[in-house]
């Protein structure tokens, strides 16, 4: 009887093998995996990328890999994300280098003022190249056991708040929220940079802790409703701001089968497209609202050029600081310059 059944079993196994080869069946995980992923703030345009990646991997793994997104920093404060991933508190998070001084020192190159391309699609390409640079990969892995999972490139920064800013002279004495390295360009004209996190923005403006808040334009101002507690918004400053990305624990990543790991470039490409689409839709929604409710102050190109004049000096100071600490700052800065030239 056993001998009689063998041909049937063989045919079934053969059919399954053919179906796998032809149909490209999803790679099997040893067991279902859930990655808890911490996001600060609400669902908004900037979360479209990780949402696309989560959907992609759920489909490609036949539901065996779930990236469970926790909005509002529900898993812990955004400033502690690198430590939380390294300690195993959760598997992944949205992170911005500017929130963690000296924790991603080489990656902070992308927060140097007026270095990144002003157009968002070009910025996406440069960010991706930098995040895949071997030295950046090493920095993430060795310091924090983190791998670059997906893009979180940001549109250029503008300022919204309760001080009218239409020239560099208008910045004198104004408490402006911008990341540390970009802040140096504003300080030269008397601005008072003050760092608070995105979820603190509304209260900071409402209470006067911040006079003018720098954010990616335009989706962030709408997502955090800053127009409700503001009188003015700039157009034309187009400053670079945070260098952000979606990261995942290397321990979690290494548990995936090679076939799923190989799909990461495809997932990142989908995320990039999702982000660009979300930003465009957000502009179409929010910019008319801002123009209706606020005074839009044009920041002329000549005034922007004054801000950018001292950028090279700030870049060189950054290189000197990195090199003094034994890090290849010059190599990374030159790499970024070459990528900007390539894509701009």
Mean pLDDT per 10-residue segment, the chain (344 residues): 42 41 54 95 95 98 97 94 98 94 95 93 97 98 98 96 97 91 90 90 95 94 96 95 96 97 98 98 97 96 93 96 98 98 90
Indicate whether 12 belongs to any domain. no
The DSSP H or E segment spanning 212 is strand 212-216
Residues 219 and 250 in one domain: no
In the prediction, which pLDDT does 27 show? 61
250 contacts: CB under 8 Å, gap ≥ 6 = 141, 145, 146, 147
Report if residue 192 sits inside a domain. Answer: yes
In a domain? residue 132: yes
Tell me if 187 is assigned to some domain. yes
Strand partners, 193: 176
**Given this model, what pLDDT does residue 28 score?**
63
pLDDT at residue number 147: 98
Please indicate, yes or no, whether residues 273 and 175 belong to a single structural domain of this protein: no
**Is 15 within the bounds of a domain?**
no
Residue 109 lies inside a defined structural domain of this protein: no
CATH code of the domain covering residue 322: 3.40.190.170
Can you give the pLDDT at residue 26?
A: 56
| Claim to verify: residue 263 and residue 302 sit in the same structural domain | no
Q: Based on the structure, what is the number of domains in the chain? A: 2
Q: Which helix (H) or strand (E) holds 165?
A: none
Which pLDDT score, from 0 to 100, does residue 241 have? 86
Say if 18 falls within a structural domain.
no
Alpha helix stretches (DSSP H) within the chain? 2-23, 48-60, 81-87, 120-131, 134-144, 180-187, 201-207, 219-223, 250-254, 258-261, 264-293, 301-308, 311-324, 329-343
Examine the domain organization and report whether 313 and 235 are in the same domain.
Answer: yes
Q: Are residues 226 and 250 in the same domain?
A: no
Of 282, 302, 334, the domain-final residue: 282
pLDDT score at 240: 87
Do 38 and 85 fall within a single domain? yes
Q: Exposure of 75 by Cβ count < 10 A (0-12 exposed, 13-18 middle, 19+ buried)?
A: buried
d(CA 51, CA 332): 30
- Residue 234 shares a structural domain with residue 95: no
Domain end marker among 232, 252, 282: 282
Looking at residue 10, its pLDDT comes to: 42
Is 86 in the same domain as 42?
Answer: yes
- Residue 184 and residue 49 share a domain: no
**183 and 321: one domain?**
yes
pLDDT on residue 23 = 43
- Any domain includes 2: no
Q: Where in the sequence is the domain holding 292, given as residue range(s)?
A: 157-241+284-343
* Three-class DSSP category at 178: coil
213 & 260 share domain? no
Q: Does residue 190 sit in the same domain as residue 319?
A: yes
Distance set, CA 158 to CA 30, 114, 261 (Å): 47, 13, 37
Of the residues 253, 282, 311, which one is the last residue of a structural domain?
282
């Amino acid at each position: 009887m056993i001998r009689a059944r063998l041909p049937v079993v063989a045919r079934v196994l053969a059919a399954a093998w053919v179906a796998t080869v032809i149909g490209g069946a999803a790679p099997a995980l040893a067991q279902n995996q859930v990655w808890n992923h911490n996001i600060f703030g609400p669902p908004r345009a900037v979360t479209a990328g990780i949402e696309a990646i989560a959907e992609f991997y759920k489909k490609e793994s036949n539901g065996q890999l779930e990236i469970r997104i926790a909005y509002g920093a529900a898993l812990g404060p955004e400033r502690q994300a690198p430590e939380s991933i390294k300690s195993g508190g959760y598997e992944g998070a949205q992170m911005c280098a500017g929130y963690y001084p000296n924790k991603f020192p080489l990656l902070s190159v992308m927060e140097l003022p007026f270095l990144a391309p002003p157009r968002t699609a070009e910025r996406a390409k440069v960010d991706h190249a930098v995040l895949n640079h071997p030295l950046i990969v090493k920095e993430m892995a060795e310091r924090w056991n983190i791998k670059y999972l997906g893009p979180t490139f940001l549109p250029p920064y503008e300022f919204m708040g309760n001080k009218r800013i239409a020239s560099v002279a208008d910045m004198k004495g104004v408490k402006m929220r911008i990341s540390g390295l970009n802040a140096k360009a504003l300080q030269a004209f008397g601005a008072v940079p003050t760092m608070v996190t995105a979820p603190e923005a509304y209260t900071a403006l409402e209470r006067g802790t911040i006079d003018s808040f720098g954010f990616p334009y335009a989706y962030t101002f709408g997502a955090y409703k800053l127009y409700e507690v503001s009188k003015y918004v700039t157009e034309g400053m187009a400053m670079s701001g945070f260098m952000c990305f979606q990261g995942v624990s290397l321990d979690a990543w290494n548990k995936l089968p090679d076939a799923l790991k190989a799909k990461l470039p495809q997932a990142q490409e989908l995320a990039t497209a999702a982000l660009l689409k979300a930003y465009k839709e957000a502009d179409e929604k929010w910019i008319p609202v801002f123009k209706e409710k606020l005074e839009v102050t044009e920041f002329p190109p000549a005034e922007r050029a004054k801000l950018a004049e001292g950028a090279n000096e700030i870049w060189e100071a950054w290189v000197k600081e990195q090199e003094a600490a034994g890090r290849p700052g010059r190599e990374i800065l030159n790499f970024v310059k070459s990528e900007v030239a390539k894509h701009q």
